[in-house]
Structure 1
Amino acid sequence: MRDFSEPARATGPGVVADGPAGATTLLVIDPAGEALHDEIPATWRTLTDRLRIVWLRVPAAPEWKSTVDAVLTKHRDDPRTVLDVVTSGPMAAEVVDLVRGHEDLVRSVLLVDPEVAVDAPFAQVVARSQEVPDDRIPAPLPLGHPYVVFGVAEALDKLGCSGTT
């Protein structure tokens, strides 16, 4: 398992966002703290023409749970809002538990390399690290990895999100 305790990950913005307001919103809760430079990772930018991506960098947002609650509450009053959540590894179970309080608002939780089995009807695993000896990327896969973006886009397509075509 990768170590996310590097001090540099705690610098920079706690939340970055891109994409049109009012579009399907993808809340990415990133335990690794990618998106250091005030914008979402480049691999995700192809999705921002039709999706609103809100990237929460957990190392830079120590009160991340209240930030998630604030984002979800902000979207609660708009009946047109469609929200999906993405997270990985060590945060999977905790995020699923947090979303349980917002099941009426969150359509799905998309997981990457969850550390534990997660049993929730709205949660699904969309990407896993390869268990091969020469794999140079330890679990969990970085959320900015192209394989993760592909898995998320594929899952959103199956859920009927027109924002990924």
Structure 2
Amino acid sequence: MRDFDEPSRAAGPGVVADGPAGAPTVLVIDPAGEALHNEIPATWRDLTDRLRVVWLRVPAAPGWQSTVDTVLTRHSDEEHPVLDVVSSGPIAAEVLDLARQHEDLVRSVLLVDPEVEVDDPFARTIVRSHNAEDDRIPPPLPLGHPDVVFNVVKALNEHS
């Protein structure tokens, strides 16, 4: 597993968002802390014409669990909220616990290389690295990786 404790990852904004208000929302809870420069990763930007992407950078948001709770609670006033959560690796269990507390709001939890077994009907693993010697990137795969974006879009289209 990769080490996410680099001090530079704690710099920058805790939450970055893009896309139209009121659109279906994808909450990305990123333990690696991508999106350092106050915008979502480039691989996700094409999605923001039809989705609201809220990117929570865990290293820059020490109280990230309460931030997730706040973001999810904001959608409780919407008539028909469409909210999907994406996360990975070492925080998958915590993300699943938070999503369970908001089952009425969260349509799905999509996980990349989770360190736990996924046994919730609304959650599934969408990318699993093989951790082979020829892998250029150790697990978990970064949430900005094109394979992650492809599989998120595929999963969201299955809900449509």
Short-chain TM bin? over 0.9
Q: For 1:1-165, what aligned pairs fall within 5 Å after superposition?
A: 1-160=1-160
- Letter of the structure 1 residue corresponding to residue 3 of structure 2: D
Q: Which runs of 5+ in 2 are unaligned?
A: none
TM-score by length of 1: 0.95
Q: What are the superposed Cα offsets for residues 91-144 of structure 1, whole Å, 9 maximum, x if unpaired?
A: 111100111010000000000000111211100111111343211100000000
CA RMSD, Structure 1 to Structure 2 (Å): 0.7
Distance 1:42 1:109 in 2: 22
Q: What are the superposed Cα offsets for residues 18-49 of structure 1, whole Å, 9 maximum, x if unpaired?
A: 00000000000000000000000000001110
In the alignment of these two chains, the number of paired residues is: 160
- Letter of the structure 2 residue corresponding to residue 13 of structure 1: P
Q: Which runs of 5+ in 1 are unaligned?
A: 161-165
Identity %: 74
Q: Is the 8 A contact 2:131 2:138 kept in 1?
A: no
TM-score by length of 2: 0.98
Distance 1:116 1:70 in 2: 25
Distance 2:140 2:46 in 1: 23
Q: What are the superposed Cα offsets for residues 58-77 of structure 1, whole Å, 9 maximum, x if unpaired?
A: 00000001101110111101
- Letter of the structure 2 residue corresponding to residue 75 of structure 1: H
Q: Is the 8 A contact 2:24 2:81 kept in 1?
A: yes
